[in-house]
Chains A and B, each alone.
Chain A
Amino acid sequence: MALPTYASPLERVWYYTYLVICTLIFIFLIAPILIVIPLSFNAEPYFTFTEKMLTFDPAGYSLRWYDTLLTLGHPGSDTMRDEAWWSAVWERSTWVQAAKNSFWVGLWATILATFLGTVAALGLSRPEMPYRRLIMAILISPMIVPIIIIAVGMSFFFAQACVPPDSIWSTIFGPFLSEKGCLVNSHLGVIVAHAVLGIPFVIITVTATLSGFDQSLIRAAHSLGANPRTTFFKVVMPLILPGVISGALFAFVTSFDEVVAVLFIAGPDQQTIPRQMFNGIREAISPAILAVATLLVIISVALLTTVELLRRRSERLRGITPH
């Protein structure tokens, strides 16, 4: 936006003030996220910049907090870093275990939410769908209902949701449930909880993609002799895929960042990164938290870039050109 030539001096002053205000708000948005990156290289156990850091003295910086991430819960921190050391890190380090749990829970929750959500979105965006508004409101509600309420409800229910021992159900689901055969304190419980929380995001992104979908393409495919399955996989799927993938990424991030449900329904075997961070912030706050935070910022930048590229691709495919 440029100032119109008829702008008065007062308007010119206001215009530049406005730009300054906007810049300050952008700094407010982004600075807290960027500030954790240099802080995580602190050589001292402080949460702020030391004098050495401010003078860019290399002695003020170190990778010790990243090292802590590998060695916490792993006894041999001073031994040689050979293959055995690394495999011990992989098997025992607290943060690595948390990362593994977060990844697997996130992956399965995403698959569940994306599959169910995409199929439902296909139904929801058909004009014939009955009770569309009500069903949509129900499916979006996990995003609106406070997480604490969901967590309380789930912790009551999942403690009761058990399979009878020595039944066929216990043979099928047993390995995914807790020792007592319940959803509480089990991986399946956390996955299910995170899938519910991710569903609204999948529904929103996929229905948004489908709203720009030209229904006549389906009729065109049919008229050219394609059966419903071919039509879906060759015509519909490629067009809605960007929406599905960004919905899946949203669902994954939701799970990857979720802590309240984990606090209430997970056991010691389901420690995730956010839970580890939550405990870390509550108890002994150490810059190791900042090191994790930095890694998470890098992941979120990567995910955001992917989603943006997908969105642009989807807009290009649908013929909506940026103006």
Chain B
Amino acid sequence: MTEAATELLTTADGRPLKEALATAQSRAKRRAFLLVLPLLVFVLLTFLVPIGYMLKRSVEHDGFSRSSPTLTQWFKENPEFDHMNPPEQAYAALVTDLAEMQATKNTGMAGTRINYTVPGSISLFKKGAREAAAMQPPFKGAMLALDPAWGAPELWYAMESASSELTTDFYKVAADRKLTETGWERGDDKQRIYLYLFFKTFVVSAIITVICLLLAFPVAHLLAILPMAKSSLLMILVLLPFWTSLLVRTTAWIALLQEQGIVNDALVGLGILADDNRLTMMYNMTGTIVAMTHVLLPFMILPLYSVMKVIPPSYARAARSLGATSWTTFRRVYLPQTLPGIAAGSLLVFILAVGYYITPALVGGADGQLISNLISFHMTKSNWSMAAALAAMLLAAILALYWIYDQLIGVDRLKLG
């Protein structure tokens, strides 16, 4: 078709074809988008906004700033003061605020905020607030006489930072940094509880992913090569756990693995184990790993199966006929073709394991707790900002993994059963 001929093409009512097509396409686009819009708005309001709200909570805490206007004002006017030796005016402002806190009963709120970065501050604040109204100048001497801790530089760093409503303090604490005399520093190695728990969560998730892969591979392969009638029967055995309540499965594992449980009873009954020497498999890390492996195994089997099902068996036969041993055939011909399934299953299981809550909470005991359980712990203690900061860090890790999943496999290729 020549250039001239294209330009002449028009629709029945005389509009240029190109323009009519563009209109029609943008209308189709709009229509498709309008179908998705209600759900998008719903998810925005009930999912994205709450998560945004949580992120806001992680950088915002007005417990101290709201109840100490005088000191906040003083910090603003004297940004360069000496933390080692704050002047009399600073103490005067502090005493004014403490007396006001006592009157309005806000001491707990303010003390709690400082307590996040300098442990032990709640009682310090309560004591200070009780005495503040009766104090006479010079306030510095009076406060230090009351408790020398009021002169600690880390306390002044903490109060200066808390005088602003917006803060990154919770992330610093969550990254195991500590306030010292000279400001924020890397914490003592023995007290790095948060980062250690993040690290532990990732290691445990990796272990579970590897166990799941080792267990899922033979099963998925068997399902893929069996004739349809047999494999759909066996598939039900994979799907039933998938459809069974998580709490049912966790309960079952408690019944099986606890000290007076079925596995121990059987081992004792068979004479393999002495009665006073029962294995501790529940309420510790072993319990968490076993129960989580069971819960997450179908998420590994299903993607592996859907990849293995479409691998033509003729490749393996060709390799064999060309002289490869069965091991070489597996390693050089079959395994590489299953890699997309391995990647999809492993990433999915790892992502789900990192954020797991219920199973560790119920069967983990003290030793088998993961990062989600710590977030929940801070929530129950009303340490909302701390919980939010930890949750935000976990969310960042999950989103990074999700992005990798989307790039490698594509979310639209996620399948269920």
Q: How far is the CA of A140 from the CA of B241 in the complex (A)?
A: 22
Q: How far is the CA of A290 from the CA of B245 in the complex (A)?
A: 12
Contact B38 A120 (CB under 8 A): yes
Specify which of B218, B247, B261 is in contact with A47 (CB 8 Å cutoff).
B261
Using a CB-CB cutoff of 8 Å, which residues 144-198 of chain A contact chain B?
Answer: 144-150, 152-158, 160, 192-193, 195-196
Contact A274 B247 (CB under 8 A): yes
Contact A257 B245 (CB under 8 A): yes
B-contact bits for A258-273, CB 8 A (1 contact / 0 none): 0110001000000000
Contact B354 A146 (CB under 8 A): yes
**Most A Cβ at <10 Å: residue of B215, B245, B395:** B245
Q: How far is the CA of A130 from the CA of B36 in the complex (A)?
A: 10
Q: How far is the CA of A32 from the CA of B246 in the complex (A)?
A: 12
Specify which of B262, B379, B402 is in contact with A137 (CB 8 Å cutoff).
B402
Instruction: Answer whether residue A107 sits at the interface, using C-beta atoms and an 8 A cutoff.
Output: no
Instruction: Answer whether residue A301 sits at the interface, using C-beta atoms and an 8 A cutoff.
Output: yes
A-contact bits for B366-396, CB 8 A (1 contact / 0 none): 0000001001100100001001100100110
Interface size range of chain A in the complex: 35 or more
**Residue in B closest to A304 when the chains form the complex, CB atoms:** B243
Q: How far is the CA of A259 from the CA of B35 in the complex (A)?
A: 31
**Residue in B closest to A160 when the chains form the complex, CB atoms:** B53
Instruction: Answer whether residue B84 sits at the interface, using C-beta atoms and an 8 A cutoff.
Output: no
Q: How far is the CA of A253 from the CA of B417 in the complex (A)?
A: 14
Specify which of A32, A156, A204, A323 is in contact with B253 (CB 8 Å cutoff).
A32
Which residues from B are CB-within-8-Å of A145?
51, 355, 395, 398-399
Specify which of A33, A154, A307 is in contact with B249 (CB 8 Å cutoff).
A33
Q: How far is the CA of A32 from the CA of B40 in the complex (A)?
A: 39
Which residues from B are CB-within-8-Å of A308?
232, 236, 239
Which residues from B are CB-within-8-Å of A253?
243
Q: How far is the CA of A128 from the CA of B258 in the complex (A)?
A: 56
Instruction: Answer whether residue B8 sits at the interface, using C-beta atoms and an 8 A cutoff.
Output: no
**Which of the segments A58-66, A70-78, A214-222, A277-285 contacts the partner chain?**
A277-285
**Residue in B closest to A34 when the chains form the complex, CB atoms:** B252
**Residue in B closest to A257 when the chains form the complex, CB atoms:** B245
Instruction: Answer whether residue B254 sits at the interface, using C-beta atoms and an 8 A cutoff.
Output: yes
B-contact bits for A38-55, CB 8 A (1 contact / 0 none): 010000001111000000
* Contact A33/B358 with A128-B32, A137-B402, A152-B391 known, Cβ cut-off 8 Å: no
Instruction: Answer whether residue A117 sits at the interface, using C-beta atoms and an 8 A cutoff.
Output: yes
**Most B Cβ at <10 Å: residue of A6, A148, A196:** A148
Instruction: Answer whether residue B225 sits at the interface, using C-beta atoms and an 8 A cutoff.
Output: yes
Instruction: Answer whether residue A88 sits at the interface, using C-beta atoms and an 8 A cutoff.
Output: no
Instruction: Answer whether residue B9 sits at the interface, using C-beta atoms and an 8 A cutoff.
Output: no
Which residues from B are CB-within-8-Å of A250?
416
Shortest C-beta distance, B321 to chain A (Å), equals: 10
Instruction: Answer whether residue A133 sits at the interface, using C-beta atoms and an 8 A cutoff.
Output: yes
Shortest C-beta distance, B39 to chain A (Å), equals: 4
Instruction: Answer whether residue B202 sits at the interface, using C-beta atoms and an 8 A cutoff.
Output: no
Q: How far is the CA of A142 from the CA of B36 in the complex (A)?
A: 16
Q: How far is the CA of A54 from the CA of B21 in the complex (A)?
A: 76
Which residues from B are CB-within-8-Å of A122?
35
Instruction: Answer whether residue B4 sits at the interface, using C-beta atoms and an 8 A cutoff.
Output: no
Instruction: Answer whether residue B237 sits at the interface, using C-beta atoms and an 8 A cutoff.
Output: yes
Which residues from B are CB-within-8-Å of A135?
36, 40
Which residues from B are CB-within-8-Å of A282?
361-362
List 23 interface pairs A-B (beta carbons < 8 Å), by A numbering. Answer: A19-B222, A29-B240, A29-B241, A29-B297, A47-B254, A49-B262, A133-B406, A135-B36, A138-B43, A146-B372, A146-B395, A150-B47, A150-B50, A152-B387, A157-B49, A196-B46, A260-B357, A274-B245, A281-B362, A297-B248, A301-B240, A303-B243, A322-B228
Q: Which residues of A does B touch, CB under 8 Å? A: 1, 4, 6, 11, 14, 18-19, 21-22, 25-26, 28-30, 32-33, 35-36, 39, 46-49, 112, 116-117, 119-120, 122-124, 126, 128-130, 132-133, 135-142, 144-150, 152-158, 160, 192-193, 195-196, 199, 201, 204-205, 207-208, 250, 253, 256-257, 259-260, 264, 274, 277-278, 281-282, 285, 289-290, 293, 296-297, 300-301, 303-304, 307-308, 311, 322-323
Task: Give me 11 other A-B pairs in contact (C-beta within 8 A), A33-B252, A277-B247, A307-B243 excluded.
Answer: A6-B320, A22-B222, A47-B254, A48-B261, A119-B35, A129-B32, A146-B395, A148-B375, A157-B53, A293-B251, A300-B240
